[in-house]
Amino acid sequence: MGKEIERKFLVRDRQFETESTEKFEIRQAYLNDCPDATVRLRVIDTKAWLTVKSRNHGAERGEWEYEIPVSDAMEMIEATGTPCLFKTRYIIPAADGLKWEVDEFHNPCAGLVVAEIELPSSDTAITHPAWIGREVTGDPAYYNSVIAAKLKT
């Protein structure tokens, strides 16, 4: 089983942009947003992935991700009528080979900026950059699937 261990934080200012080494646009849609097993499609440039994630248990959950053709992802999004979430992702190197992923949402939560860091274990110590704010790990309001669900209303 794949496992994701991730902590999530709000971002207090835009200093992260000057530390970013990569930036790209993401189109993301959910075929299923049930908390027990979300099913996500993600398109970045010329690549796409189908991802299944289990319910969160703190900072941990199961994750299975498979690369698929972009044309298949786009056809699935169109066939299901699933609205897309658009965000810009910034990559910022962290200590010990880790990296921060900062997502700036464009809809439906324009102005929301959230930082995530994937960890090798739940007890891995991390250093918080000055631009990191309040931790929101485990708060459903900041799950991408919940944010995307706002597009349906």
Point out the catalytic residue in the list 30, 66, 142, 143: 30
DSSP line for the chain: --EEEEEEEEE-STTHHHH-SEEEEEEEEEEE--TTEEEEEEEETTEEEEEEEE--BTTEEEEEEEEE-HHHHHHHHHHHTPPPEEEEEEEEE-GGG-EEEEEEEEESSTT-EEEEEE-SSTT---PPPTTEEEE-TT-GGG-HHHHHHGGG-
Active site residue 90: no
Q: What is the Cβ-side half-sphere exposure of residue 129, based on CA atoms within 13 angstroms?
A: 26
Q: What is the Cβ-side half-sphere exposure of residue 60, based on CA atoms within 13 angstroms?
A: 9
Q: Which residues are tagged catalytic? A: 30
